[in-house]
């Protein structure tokens, strides 16, 4: 499924942000680039969408369908 990820990390400790984003990128195979708007377009496997929604629910990111 094609989605756009917005990294919503304002509420996190700044020293933890790179580590958290790297773990999420590695788990879901998300590219290592981010646009100037803080978004990363990517393809997520259908079976991984539920776990990605859980990450969004916990406040690490927002899923934007563009």
Task: Please tell me the predicted confidence (pLDDT) of residue 54.
Answer: 96
- CA dist 36 and 50 (Å) reads 27
H helices of the chain, in order, are 17-28, 49-57
How many helices, marked H, and strands, marked E, lie in the chain?
Answer: 2, 3
Q: How far is CA 62 from CA 26, 34, 41, in A?
A: 17, 14, 12
Q: Where are the domains of the chain?
A: 2-64
Q: What is the mean pLDDT of the chain?
A: 93
pLDDT tens per residue across span 5-21: 999 888 888 899 999 99
């Amino acid at each position: 499924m094609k989605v756009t990820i917005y990294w919503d990390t304002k509420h996190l400790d700044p020293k933890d942000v790179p580590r958290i984003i790297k773990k999420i990128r590695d788990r879901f195979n998300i590219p290592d680039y981010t646009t100037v708007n803080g978004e990363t377009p990517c393809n997520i496997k259908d079976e991984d969408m539920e776990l990605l929604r859980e990450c969004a629910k916990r406040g690490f990111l927002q899923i934007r369908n563009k």
